Amino acid sequence: MQTAQRIVKRYLRRRLIVCAAMAVLVLFLTLIVRYVAERNLNEQRMLAFSTRTIATLESVLAPLDDIGADVVQLVGTPCETAQLSIREHAARMQTLRSIALIKDGVLYCSSIFGPRNVPVSQLQSRLPASSPLLLLSTDSSLLKGSPVLVSWHPLDNSGRDGVMEVVNIEMLTGLMFEPERPWVTRAVLNVAGSHLEHGKGLLTHVSVERGLVSRQIASEKFPFSVTTIGPSAGDLALKNLPAQLPLALILSMLIGYITWLATANRMSFSWEINLGLASREFEVFCQPLLNARNLQCTGVELLLRWNNPRQGWISPEVFIPLAEQQNLIAPLTRFVLDETVRHLDMFPQSRDFHIGINVAASHFHNGEIIDDLKRHWFPSQAIQQLVLELTERDALPDVDYRVVRDLHGLGIALAIDDFGTGQSSLTYLETLNPDVLKIDKSFTAAIGTDAVNSTVTDIIISLAQRLGISLVAEGVETPQQAEYLRNHGVNVLQGYLYARPMPLKAFPLWLEGRDPPPHHNGQAVPALPLR
């Protein structure tokens, strides 16, 4: 059997575990989501840097093709005639350092120096060439040693004639290849196997420091690519993760609190009772009441058992008080009423046979018990006498006495259970006008052993006889107790001496004089008497 404290603590512990698990889960999920979002954002920033750099350089190189197409027509024209035109073209672009005309592999006209006679191979070893080229090199004429970007436009397939355009790429790297920290720590322009890095000039190869990663994106319009070097997007996101912790903690605590509120019903004993009712885990038992003179069964008290598949057998001393605290005692009473009506054929069809059902004082508020009886009991047109048993431990003075009056008018008898154990005033006996007083088993057990309790028992018997109230003695276990009660005028007895609580289906067998089955559904039935 489970205790109330153990069950409540178990549900509380489960709720705390679920809430803590949800809070921790949300904390980790929030950090993971923030990490992934930050990583993706870093990758987008790195990609945006490379894309923007490529687009900018493409916008610089695009006019070179147009200029080259115009100027290449001047190849072979005397320098005195062509010089003015190529100077005008060079002046239109601030980034264009010079334009040179090459004939038979010889640079014979420059936009800066005018007429010249220099083999172009001395200036650029890979020129002349039969196909267009884009080269990274160093200036050997004007600003010697400075990086330049060379664009070659051949006149024909012979590769001996063409136009060479020199771009001031060092100025462009300062505008386009300056790193964007912390995402990009280095940016490198790659052209035809040569590399130009901002602040470092031309490089023969690109090295990547430990802990950093490189990404290379190529232009779709021109033969160059851009390499960006920096921390990985994941490392940057991980480094920034502690800054996301306060938000994640606040969110996790909020979700934990919401989970606590949301599980108030589903992870509580009230939810367990509702689930038990819906799954029909409860079962109604009965304990016979016998006439003290002839030992004939005059009625039964209906008792509720709960074989919870999740908790095992739960004592009524546990679930009844908890049900009262959770305002679920009325649904349990309705369940008992329904089960009683379904099994009316198990009981003698006699007006003298009474069926006792335990009810709570709270069920009397606003006439709720009358509404339930009209809905569940009276439609059955039962012949047996229904007795509602109120325990004295309930707040009997709070019972609506108008409801009591109406119950009497409807032919429903009223009994006070466990009489003598409460702290209420005896004045409510006159107000409630009960039909039956049930002597608590603690007084029955004291017969012959405890002088004080025996005296109280005598007082209760005398009080009931003077008020004209019928008496039922609970917990009769020995012949001596039965004899004492019989001699003192107690007419109805109830206890293990005659019968233990039994399933309703076993009652007809017992009534015929046979013992009911000692087991129920393959399991031993708890012997604890139930409310």
Q: 26 and 172, same structural domain?
A: yes
Domain stop point among 267, 300, 331: 267
Q: What is the mean pLDDT of the chain?
A: 84
Q: At what angle do helices 4-71 and 245-266 cross, to 10 degrees?
A: 140
| pLDDT for 524 | 36
Given pLDDT bands bounded at 50, 70 and 90, which one contains residue 268? low
Cβ-count burial of 317 within 10 angstroms (0-12 exposed, 13-18 middle, 19+ buried)? middle
Average pLDDT over residues 171-181: 76
Average pLDDT over residues 220-233: 91
Residue 440 lies in a domain: yes
| pLDDT for 315 | 76
CATH of the domain at 440: 3.20.20.450
More confident: 417 or 472: 472
- For the stretch 88-114, pLDDT in tens is 988 888 788 899 999 999 999 999 999
| pLDDT for 528 | 36
Residues in Cβ contact with 491 at an 8 Å cutoff, skipping those fewer than 6 apart: 291, 292, 293, 470, 471
| pLDDT for 452 | 58
Q: 371 and 495, same structural domain?
A: yes
Residue 297, domain extent: 281-512
| pLDDT for 200 | 82
Q: 188 and 103, same structural domain?
A: yes
What is the distance between the alpha carbons of residues 340 and 507, in angstroms, rounded to a whole number?
13
> In the chain, what percentage of residues exceed pLDDT 90?
43
SS3 content of the chain, % helix, strand, coil (to 5): 45, 25, 30
Given pLDDT bands bounded at 50, 70 and 90, which one contains residue 487? very high
> In the chain, what percentage of residues exceed pLDDT 70?
88
Cα separations in angstroms, 277 against 324, 329, 520: 15, 12, 19
Residue 324 lies in a domain: yes
Q: 336 and 188, same structural domain?
A: no
| pLDDT for 517 | 45
Q: 247 and 354, same structural domain?
A: no
Q: 299 and 347, same structural domain?
A: yes
Q: 121 and 13, same structural domain?
A: yes
| Beta strand 502-503 pairing with 282-291 | antiparallel
Classified as helix, coil or strand, 97 is strand
| pLDDT for 15 | 75
Given pLDDT bands bounded at 50, 70 and 90, which one contains residue 508? very high
Cα-based torsion angle of the residue sequence 121, 122, 126, 128 in order, rounded to the nearest 10 degrees: -20
CA neighbor of 339 nearest in space, from 371, 302, 368: 302
What is the distance between the alpha carbons of residues 186 and 199, in angstroms, rounded to a whole number?
10
Q: How many CA atoms lie within 13 A of 399 on its CB side?
A: 31
Cβ-count burial of 88 within 10 angstroms (0-12 exposed, 13-18 middle, 19+ buried)? exposed
What tokens appear for 520 in the block? 């129920």
| pLDDT for 382 | 92
Residue 453 lies in a domain: yes
Domain stop point among 212, 235, 267: 267
> Over 70: is that where the pLDDT of 5 sits?
no
Cβ-count burial of 112 within 10 angstroms (0-12 exposed, 13-18 middle, 19+ buried)? middle
Cα 286-291-297 angle, rounded to 5 deg: 40
150-159, 391-400, 476-485: segment of lowest average pLDDT: 391-400
| pLDDT for 428 | 67
- Domain tally for the chain? 2
Domain stop point among 267, 297, 314: 267
| pLDDT for 525 | 39
| pLDDT for 519 | 40
Residue 525 lies in a domain: no
Residue 411 lies in a domain: yes
Residue 87 lies in a domain: yes
Q: 92 and 24, same structural domain?
A: yes
What tokens appear for 180 in the block? 């964007």
Residue 322 lies in a domain: yes
Q: 313 and 225, same structural domain?
A: no
Q: 457 and 409, same structural domain?
A: yes
Q: 215 and 80, same structural domain?
A: yes
Residue 116 lies in a domain: yes
Q: 309 and 256, same structural domain?
A: no
Q: At what angle do helices 4-71 and 233-240 cross, to 10 degrees?
A: 140
